[in-house]
A and B are shown apart, each in its own frame.
Chain A
């Protein structure tokens, strides 16, 4: 199967600090990775598309200066939530696109961010 890991699985931070979340594809190379956020009892909302070696593409309404994405290798993408505030508290999930021909996305286990 296709395995994606995320680290950390949960994080609690103070308001105003920055938090970095890592997303790794463990058994496949992912030229494209995606970052989602999910609020309780809601569906996944796409935040941005992360492409290896190029700038991320952000969805409408997502602040690129607040949610910094770096896709430095074919197996690693990072999301940094800068100057986090309580309203940024959410479940952040990444996914890797294993095969662009078949559009199969495989998701990480998610990171629970709580900003105090």
Chain B
């Protein structure tokens, strides 16, 4: 079945550092979404990408839809303690169903 390979699995960084994570797949996606999940909560949508090559920012977050439509990355600049959480990429395979395929998640810890 389709899979998204998300890396790294976890990161432990110093406050103020920049962070980068990515997702790759053997399948082509029409839409890439990036979510953040905190303990005991549901995922919160951070950024949505709809076109190959698209680069979109949301505050300190920047994400890009790869030109091959098989990958995406998320960057967080100048990290702060509240950035702690699990970040998931998700791809929409079929616009007809809206079903998402999730990556395994990247756990981010920020040391003040």
Bin the interface of chain B by size: 20 to 34
| C-alpha spacing A75/B57, complex, angstroms | 30
Which stretch (A12-20, A62-70, A78-86, A102-110) binds chain B?
A102-110
Given contacts A43-B105, A102-B48, contact A107 B98 (CB under 8 A): no
| C-alpha spacing A105/B40, complex, angstroms | 18
Check: B7 CB closer than 8 A to any chain A CB.
Answer: no
Check: A76 CB closer than 8 A to any chain B CB.
Answer: no
Interface residues of A in 85-116 (CB under 8 A from B): 93, 95, 97, 100-110, 112
* A102 and B50 form a contact (CB under 8 A): yes
What residues of B have a CB within 8 angstroms of the CB of A112 in the complex? 40
Number of A interface residues, CB 8 Å?
24
What residues of A have a CB within 8 angstroms of the CB of B33 in the complex? 103-105
Q: How far is the CB of B49 from chain A (nearest CB, A)?
A: 11
Partner of B100, one of A42, A100, A101, A105: A105
Q: How far is the CB of B1 from chain A (nearest CB, A)?
A: 9
| Interface flags, A31-57, vs B, CB<8A=1, else 0 | 010100000001110100100000000
What residues of A have a CB within 8 angstroms of the CB of B31 in the complex? 102-103
What residues of A have a CB within 8 angstroms of the CB of B58 in the complex? none
Partner of B97, one of A49, A106, A108, A109: A49
Q: How far is the CB of A53 from chain B (nearest CB, A)?
A: 16
Q: How far is the CB of A72 from chain B (nearest CB, A)?
A: 20
| C-alpha spacing A62/B65, complex, angstroms | 32
* B88 and A44 form a contact (CB under 8 A): yes
Given contacts A109-B42, A110-B41, A112-B40, contact A104 B48 (CB under 8 A): yes
- Residues of A near any B CB (own CB < 8 A): 4, 6, 32, 34, 42-44, 46, 49, 93, 95, 97, 100-110, 112
Could you list 5 further interchain pairs (A-B, Cβ under 8 angstroms) beyond the known A104-B33, A108-B42? A93-B42, A95-B42, A97-B98, A101-B95, A103-B31
12 inter-chain pairs at a CB distance below 8 angstroms, sorted by A residue, are A42-B104, A43-B104, A44-B43, A49-B97, A97-B98, A103-B33, A104-B48, A107-B35, A107-B43, A107-B45, A110-B40, A110-B42
